[in-house]
Amino acid sequence: MTIKQALSRARGILAGNNIEDVPLECELLLRHALKISQTQLYLDLDYELSPKQEDAFWRLIKRRLNGEPTAYITGHREFYGLDFYVDPHVLIPRPESELLVETALGLAQNHPLFTIAEIGTGCGAIAISLALSLPEAKIYATDISAAALKVALLNCQKHGVIDRLYLLQGDMLDPVPEPVDLIIANLPYVEESELAQMSSAKFEPLLALNGGSDGTEMIRKLCCQVGSKLRPGGCLLLEIGQGQRRAITAFLHTLFPNGEIKVVPDLSSIDRVISLSLTTSKPELANAQLSVQDYEPEGPFDAKKVGETSRGAAIAAIANNPRQNPQGNKG
C-alpha cells in the first residue's frame, strides 16, 4: 500500500466519527507512524509502506477511532504557528485561544506590558507565544498542576524562553510575586454537568475543563483576586465559554465599577475574550474586599442574578463556596 492509498483508506475509516478535520489528522498520524515531515510525505506519495509501517499506522488510526485526540497520540499540537509538546496532563491548546494572544499583542501596541501573568498555563502555549512576540516582557506562568508545569517547562526549553518566563505552581494568582501589567487566563469553563457528554473529557485533565456548576466558578474566583495583582492601569484578559459573556461582564462590573470592559468575538462570532482595563490609580478590589465583612449569606451564587447582586455579596459568594475557596479565606 502506498502513502496515497493509506491516506485515502484512513480518511474513509475516520469520516463520520465526529472528527473536525479528517484529512489533516490522517496526515499527522501517518507522518507520526513513518516519522517523516510534511514535505517528505507529499514528495513521496507513491512510497510503498512496509508491513511494519502499515501496522503502526493502523494502530494509530484505531486509537483515534477510540476517541483519543491526535495531539496526544503524536505528542504535538500547533498553536499560534508554533509547535508545542502535549501529553494527557495538559489541555490541548485550542485555535480559539489564539484570540487571547492576538488581543494581548494588540494591547501591547498602545500600552507597555513589562510584566505579564498567565494563570493556568497548561502546556505554556499562550505564555510562550507572548514571550516570543514580546521579547522585553517578563512573564509569570502559573498552574495548580505540577504535571502540567513539567510539560510547560519542556516547551519553554524547546522555544528558548526559559530565561524570562517564570513557571510557578499554585492556586490562581497566589504564586505571582508582584503586581503586573497584564493578567491573562484561559481557565476551565465547561459546566460540570456537560463534562460527561464531552468526548475529549475522557482524555483531557478534568482540572483543565471543569468550571463548576455554571462553568464560570474558576473565572469568577480569579476576577476576585486581580485587584491586588494588577498595576494601576493594568488589564485582565479572559477567555470565556459560549453564553458566559453576560455573567462575567456583570460580575466584573460589580467588582470594578470604573473599569473599562470590552468583549471580543472569535471567528465564529462567539463572544470569546473579555478584557477589563483598570482606569483608576487605586486597585478597586481593595475596597470591595472590605465590604465582604458586611455580607449576609444569600445561598449559592447565581450567575443570572449577578447584575442584581451587591459587590460585597458577589465576592462573599465566592469566599463562602468551599469549592472555590478551599482554604475558607474571606477574600
Q: 212 near 192, Cβ under 8 Å?
A: yes
Largest CA distance in the chain: 75
- 120 is an interface residue for ligand SAM by CB under 6 A: yes
**Backbone phi, psi, residue 203, to 5°:** -115, -35
Neighbours of 276 (CB within 10 A): 24
Q: For residues 51 and 328, which CB has a smaller minimum distance to ligand SAM in the complex?
A: 328
Could you tell me how many residues make up the chain?
Answer: 331
Which residues from 195-234 bind ligand SAM, rule CB under 6 A?
Answer: 207-208, 218
- Applying the rule CB under 6 A, the residues between 136 and 165 that interact with ligand SAM are 142-145, 148
Cα separation, 245 vs 228, whole angstroms: 23
Q: Considering the complex, what minimum distance in angstroms separates the CB of residue 269 from ligand SAM?
A: 21
Q: Are 60 and 14 in contact (CB under 8 A)?
A: no
Q: Which is nearer to ligand SAM, 30 or 317 (CB)?
A: 317
Stretch that binds ligand SAM, among 85-93, 103-111, 223-231, 275-283 (CB under 6 A): 85-93
CA 205 to chain centroid: 12
Closer to ligand SAM by CB, 89 or 311: give it. Answer: 89
Dist CA 136 CA 290 (whole Å): 36
Please say which residue, 124 or 312, places its beta carbon nearer to ligand SAM: 124
- Selected binder of ligand SAM within 119, 183, 238, 285 (CB under 6 A): 119
Cell numbers representing residue 86 in the block: 502535549
Q: Which stretch binds ligand SAM (CB under 6 A): 66-74, 89-97, 265-273, 303-311?
A: 89-97
Give the binding site for ligand SAM (CB under 6 A).
Answer: 90-91, 93, 97, 119-122, 125-126, 142-145, 148, 171-172, 186-188, 207-208, 218
